[in-house]
Amino acid sequence: MNPAKALGPAILTFIAYIVFSGSVSGYDLITGAAIAAVTGVLVSDFLVTDTRKSLDIRRLGWLIAYAFYYLTVAELKSHLSFAPKVLSGRIRPGVVAVRTPLKTEYGMVTLANSITNTPGTATVDIDPEKQVLYVHWLWVGAEDEEEIREKIAKPFERFIKHIFEGGEQA
């Protein structure tokens, strides 16, 4: 058991507990802290592989910045480009392979879900060994491997790299 390792999941549990209870009385804070401590210890091995990374405040900052960028800029851009295609009904669908430099499980999954959650693209599968995502694209706008990556994954990878990748501990 490693208390530092349990801290990240414990904070997540505590926030979920307080938000779901919808109250911040002394009773909620005390019971929430107790539940968070127990849950943090129970799930830490399941959830955390690198304690130092899970408690890195700069990575958290990048995560918040990414959430802001994703929910405003990325979503808007994507909607603007795909709304005309959907309305006119002129589509050119296909599945493309996107190669990514991301290596970690969380990094690749965040990229896959980011791609899925913007209109026009949906991740069908990921191959963690080959570092390839298979993406269904409503309007296949590129043939070249590098160009595909540029259009689909690059804007997200820039942030995800800072959140999950690098700084691996020996």
Give me the least distance between CB of 136 and another protein, in Å please.
14
Residue 35 or 142 having the CB closest to another protein: 35
d(CA 43, CA 150): 37
Give me the least distance between CB of 32 and another protein, in Å please.
8
Rg (CA), the chain: 19
Residue 47 or 86 having the CB closest to another protein: 47
Give me the least distance between CB of 13 and another protein, in Å please.
4
Give me the least distance between CB of 92 and another protein, in Å please.
25
Residues forming the site for another protein (CB under 8 A): 9, 12-14, 16-17, 20-21, 25-27, 31-32, 35-36, 39-40, 42-43, 45-47, 105-106, 108-109, 112-113, 123, 125-126, 128
Residue 47 or 142 having the CB closest to another protein: 47
Please state, in angstroms and as integers, the Cα–Cα distance from residue 77 to each residue in 48, 65, 105, 123, 141, following that order: 34, 17, 27, 19, 15
Are 136 and 125 a contacting pair, CB within 8 Å?
A: no
Give me the least distance between CB of 80 and another protein, in Å please.
27
Residue 42 or 55 having the CB closest to another protein: 42
Are 120 and 78 a contacting pair, CB within 8 Å?
A: yes
Q: Give bridge partners of residue 99 from the DSSP assignment.
A: 132
Residue 51 or 81 having the CB closest to another protein: 51
d(CA 119, CA 135): 12
Query: Quick check: helix, strand or coil at residue 45?
Result: helix
